[in-house]
Amino acid sequence: MKERRQIPRIPLIVSTEVTELTSGTTLRGRCSDLNMTGCYIDTLHPSPTGEPILVKLVRPNGAFEAKGKVIYTSHSLGMGIQFDADIPEAQREILKQWLEEAEKGE
């Protein structure tokens, strides 16, 4: 299968909370890989493709929060998330720091 991402994702395990913006339903999962434009969330109950969401990733050194949408789902496995382009700069910096740390193996 051809890689669709323009920016490769970096393996990074992060506790995750996803809120569906249309229903208000909240689910918990685990982010297993991440880049500046999106992530993959492991969850038994993925949200529907196209669903607008608020995703919150939590690590001991802080939290990252952004709106986005579900790009694809894998039944009972998880979902691919694309972050909205207008991530606040402070949140973008948190994400950038996490990715740099992950690339260094920290």
- Segments making up each domain of the chain, as ranges: 10-104
pLDDT for 2 = 43
Residue ranges of the chain with per-residue pLDDT less than 70: 1-6
Judge: domain 10-104, CATH 2.40.10.220. yes
Chain position carrying tokens 């694809």: 72
pLDDT for 6 = 67
Give 30-54 pLDDT, tens digit per residue. Answer: 999 999 999 999 999 999 999 999 9
pLDDT for 18 = 98
The reported pTM is 0.90
Task: For residue 77, give Cα distances in angstroms to 61, 91, 105.
Answer: 27, 27, 26
